[in-house]
Amino acid sequence: MDFPYRHYRDDPYWVPPLRMAQKELFDTGKHPFYAHAEMQCFLARQGGRTLGRIAAILDRNFNEFQNTQAGFWGFFETVNDPRVAGALLGAAREWLLGRGARLILGPMNPSTNYECGLLVDGFDSSPYVMMTYNPPYYAQLIEQSGLRKAKDLWAFYLHQDQVSRARVEGIAGRALETNQVRIRPIRMNHFQADVELIWRVYNSAWSRNWGFVPMTRDEFLFMARDMKQVLEPELVLVGEVDGQVVGFALALPDVNRALIHARGRLFPLGLFKILYHKRTIRTIRVIALGVLDQFRTAGVAAGFYAELIRRGSRLGYQDGEMSWILEDNILMCRSAAALGGKRYKTYRIYEWN
């Protein structure tokens, strides 16, 4: 856990995660992900000094859902040395192959439902909340070790000055009214009930996406509990037709703008720094947007995007990121571009087989 805080100490773009959150994520006895997965962590050390880290992950739910025998590697950090990177990747590969994996994918931290992907383009700014960051040399080290691209994940940047308000209103109106979709914000006084409705749509709407693995109820509630601390209800939207939930959109204020000042610690001063800088956040990240199959080609996704832009502008947010979107998810990419989004970062999943 400590290695990244030393490794990135002079990097102005890295956002130190809260150490308490990292401890939760690595706690295989308590975090609900590990109810269906196992993980082995490795360190690369020389002369008493840590040079890198990696984790090998087996997710039984992923293999059952995808009908495959896959393993993941993730939480990868290393100095700029091909011997160190090769040793780390080799250790994870050997552990996974020894447990029956025939396909190895990564980086997954620890799956596509969490942070994943290696940044390969767009190193000139800090990541948005729940997105990864790494030095440019990681891609070369990984490819030198014999891994190749499996899939790219795209991030789109959108500034309010690039958005045509009339166009947004038109898209939202046509798509939502035509399909009789009623949009409402999440009900904080019925938070768990709404989260469970969203969970069902999430697992259904993403079921055909590359690399998807359904989240268990416990995982989804666990993640929602953490998000509850920072979410803006007007940016967590539920779409209903005749009282039935058919889609949702989730955007969060980019709390990384505040976290970067805390250096990973809440105490003694980190909490005050976060609270102080949180007030100045004017950026959001659209984290997830899901629509049931029968509404997928009807423009409802664009309607959700437009509704988030409209509400976000009203709340004073000025720009944001729509991420991540699979490179071959044509409908979502078109929706993002139609609203004025510009692709500005690329994240890559690598494979070994």
Shared domain for 204 and 137, answered yes or no, is: no
Cβ distance 118 to 319 under 8 Å?
no
Q: Which residue, 140, 156, 172, sits at the end of a domain?
A: 156
Asked if the structure places residue 169 within a domain, the reply is: yes
Cβ distance 84 to 42 under 8 Å?
no
Shared domain for 70 and 98, answered yes or no, is: yes
Asked if the structure places residue 213 within a domain, the reply is: yes
The CATH number of residue 104's host domain is 3.40.630.30
| CA atoms of 54 and 348, how far apart (whole Å) | 17
What was the pLDDT predicted at 96? 98
Write the secondary structure of the chain as one string of H (helix), E (strand) and C (coil): CCHHHHHCCCCCCCCCCCHHHHHHHHCCCCCHHHHCEEEEEEEEEECCEEEEEEEEEEEHHHHHHHCCCEEEEEEEEECCCHHHHHHHHHHHHHHHHCCCCCEEEECEECCCCCEECEEEECCCCCCCCCCCCCCCHHHHHHHHCCCEEEEEEEEEEEEHHHCCHHHHHHHHHHHHHHCCCEEEECCHHHHHHHHHHHHHHHHHHCCCCCCCCCCCHHHHHHHHHHHHCCCCHHHEEEEEECCEEEEEEEEEECCHHHHCCCCCCCCCCHHHHHHHHHCCCCEEEEEEEEECHHHCCCCHHHHHHHHHHHHHHHCCCCEEEEEEEECCCHHHHHHHHHCCCEEEEEEEEEEEC
Q: Which residue, 156, 178, 212, sits at the end of a domain?
A: 156
Asked if the structure places residue 129 within a domain, the reply is: yes
Structural domain boundaries, residue 65: 3-156
Asked if the structure places residue 62 within a domain, the reply is: yes
Shared domain for 151 and 170, answered yes or no, is: no
What was the pLDDT predicted at 297? 63
Closest to 228 (Cα-Cα) out of 188, 267, 266: 188
| CA atoms of 128 and 251, how far apart (whole Å) | 11
Q: Which residue, 108, 125, 156, sits at the end of a domain?
A: 156
Asked if the structure places residue 352 within a domain, the reply is: no
Asked if the structure places residue 65 within a domain, the reply is: yes
Shared domain for 190 and 244, answered yes or no, is: yes
Counted domains in the chain: 2
Cβ distance 291 to 246 under 8 Å?
yes
Shared domain for 90 and 167, answered yes or no, is: no
Q: Measure the CA angle with vertex 28, ends 25 and 32; round to 5°.
A: 70
Shared domain for 128 and 186, answered yes or no, is: no
Buried b or exposed e, range 256-269, using 16+ CB within 10 angstroms = bbbbbbbebeeeee
Shared domain for 74 and 197, answered yes or no, is: no
Which residue shows structure tokens 């904080």? 188
Shared domain for 280 and 229, answered yes or no, is: yes
What was the pLDDT predicted at 143? 98
Q: Tokens representing 74?
A: 């993730």
Closest to 115 (Cα-Cα) out of 203, 5, 15, 234: 15
What was the pLDDT predicted at 261? 87
Shared domain for 191 and 336, answered yes or no, is: yes
What averages of pLDDT result for each successive group of 10 residues across the chain (353 residues)? 96 95 96 98 97 98 98 98 98 98 98 98 97 98 98 95 74 75 94 97 92 97 94 95 92 94 74 76 94 77 84 93 95 85 97 88
Cβ distance 142 to 313 under 8 Å?
no
Helices 300-314/330-338 angle, 10° precision:
40
Q: Count of CB atoms within 10 A of residue 56's CB?
A: 28
Asked if the structure places residue 351 within a domain, the reply is: no
Asked if the structure places residue 116 within a domain, the reply is: yes
Shared domain for 146 and 270, answered yes or no, is: no
Measured torsion, CA atoms of residues 21, 25, 30, 34, in degrees rounded to the nearest 10 = 160
Shared domain for 106 and 178, answered yes or no, is: no
Shared domain for 192 and 296, answered yes or no, is: yes
Q: What is the largest CA-CA distance in the chain?
A: 67
